[in-house]
Amino acid sequence: MRIALGSDHAGFDLKERIRQHLETGAIEVKDFGTTGRESVDYPDFAFAVAEAVASGKCDYGIMVCSTGIGMSIAANKVKGIRAALVYNVDVAAQSRAHLDSNILVFGQKYMTPEEAIAAVASWLATPFEGGRHERRLQKIVAYEAKAAR
């Protein structure tokens, strides 16, 4: 499994903790930055992670900024991306089970490293349920294709 990571300066510390955790397992991590706490623009990193996931270069993405809102909005502009801003383990799992999210987004201000790592584990372990959720997801995919023309 290949996971793209990204953050801005306000999410750097949590991204680093998540990266360290993922690297202890059998997960290949591609870190798109940022590399420190110096002020940067979150869309640059959100687009890089989202493009890596949309192109298939990475299977999933995880992103962090201060609130998670900016990163999730930016990533969801990339065709094929379903970035879910989550705030606990249950929401992370549901974003996979019902929405087949392919990018997980956190707000560093609102998640402890322990909560975020537990949410990542739950998200990665939860399969998409399909069924009625597939029908709904296909409506989103169809709209996205129509809107892109």
Which residue numbers are catalytic? Answer: 65, 98
Cα distances (Å, whole numbers) of residue 118 to 89, 98, 111, 135, 144:
6, 19, 11, 29, 31
Q: What are 105's strand-pairing partners?
A: 63, 85
Strands 2-7 and 60-65: parallel
DSSP secondary structure letter of residue 143 = H
